[in-house]
A and B are shown apart, each in its own frame.
Chain A
Amino acid sequence: EAGVAQSPRYKIIEKRQSVAFWCNPISGHATLYWYQQILGQGPKLLIQFQNNGVVDDSQLPKDRFSAERLKGVDSTLKIQPAKLEDSAVYLCASSPTGSLGELFFGEGSRLTVL
């Protein structure tokens, strides 16, 4: 079974530029998550989708971050404009319905903002 795919693995941009990350979850998983992991900290949930609807985006900085999950499969997370403090690893995860917290993570996309 293929795992969660993310791209790009690494991205370096300058502040005020924009960036987009892509995620393809495990086939059949209804729930998709984007987490932000800053160095030395645990992952923090940015947004959770159930199929193509948003379940929780309470910690998403909506003035600069946006995410969509078209057709309830792939998802894109965008940052525009980027700030220095956005430097982090962006993790995508998916889970089947009713998993009670058992998530399957991708390898992450590491963003460096200069």
Chain B
Amino acid sequence: GNSVTQMEGPVTLSEEAFLTINCTYTATGYPSLFWYVQYPGEGLQLLLKATKADDKGSNKGFEATYRKETTSFHLEKGSVQVSDSAVYFCALSGGSNYKLTFGKGTLLTVNP
């Protein structure tokens, strides 16, 4: 079946540091890939997505590239801010009903 493995947290960075959160997946066919974010006290929300190989999703300074050869979708940001502190979930969508499968989440804390 489909599965997502993402970097164990927590991750603690200083403001303006470079961020990478690793995500790899196992899936049949050609899934779509997503990063969702959960800010403190809020619901999950879509951060970015990519629907086919070599696509790059981007939003709010975050980027991730769909790498089929390495089955990866790593999340990056060049300069994090305190407001980026949240839990980040990698996910894939596949199958006839586009079922969304999530990784375990990575807690990011950014200190001023």
Smallest CB-CB separation from A3: which chain B residue? B43
Please report the C-alpha to C-alpha distance between residue A55 and residue B101 in the assembled complex, in whole angstroms: 15
Let me know if B25 is at the binding interface, CB within 8 A: no
Within the complex, what minimum Cβ distance (angstroms) separates A53 from chain B? 11
Q: How many A-B residue pairs have CB under 8 A?
A: 58
One of A12-20, A37-45, A67-75, A77-85 contacting the partner: A37-45
- Smallest beta-carbon distance A105→chain B, Å: 4
Question: Using Cβ atoms and an 8 Å threshold, which residues of chain A touch B43?
Answer: 3-4, 91, 105-108
Partner of B99, one of A3, A41, A45, A91: A45
- Which range contains the number of B residues in contact with the other chain? 20 to 34
Is A87 part of the contact surface with B, judged by Cβ < 8 Å?
no
Secondary structure of the A contact surface, majority rule: loop
Chain B interface, >50% SS class: strand
Chain A: minimal CB distance from B84 (Å):
19
B97 touches A103 (CB 8 A): no
B46 near A42: Cβ-Cβ < 8 Å: no
Complex interface bits, A31-60 against B, C-beta within 8 A gives 1, otherwise 0: 001000000111111001010000110000
State the Cβ distance, B48 to closest chain A Cβ, in Å.
11
| Closest Cβ–Cβ distance, residue A5 to chain B (whole Å) | 11
Whether B98 pairs with A56 at a CB distance below 8 angstroms is no
Name the CB-closest residue of B to A98: B98
Q: How large is the interface on A (under 10, 10 to 19, 20 to 34, 35 or more residues)?
A: 20 to 34
Known contacts: A41-B104, A107-B43, A108-B43. The answer to whether A101 contacts B91 by CB under 8 A is: yes
Nearest chain B residue, comparing its CB with the CB of A95 = B98
**Chain A residues engaging chain B, CB cutoff 8 angstroms:** 3-4, 33, 40-45, 48, 50, 55-56, 91, 93, 99-108
Q: Which residues of B contact A (CB under 8 A)?
A: 4, 32, 34, 41-46, 49, 51, 89, 91-93, 97-105
Closest 10 CB pairs of A and B: A101-B93, A42-B102, A105-B43, A105-B44, A107-B43, A42-B104, A55-B97, A43-B102, A101-B100, A100-B32
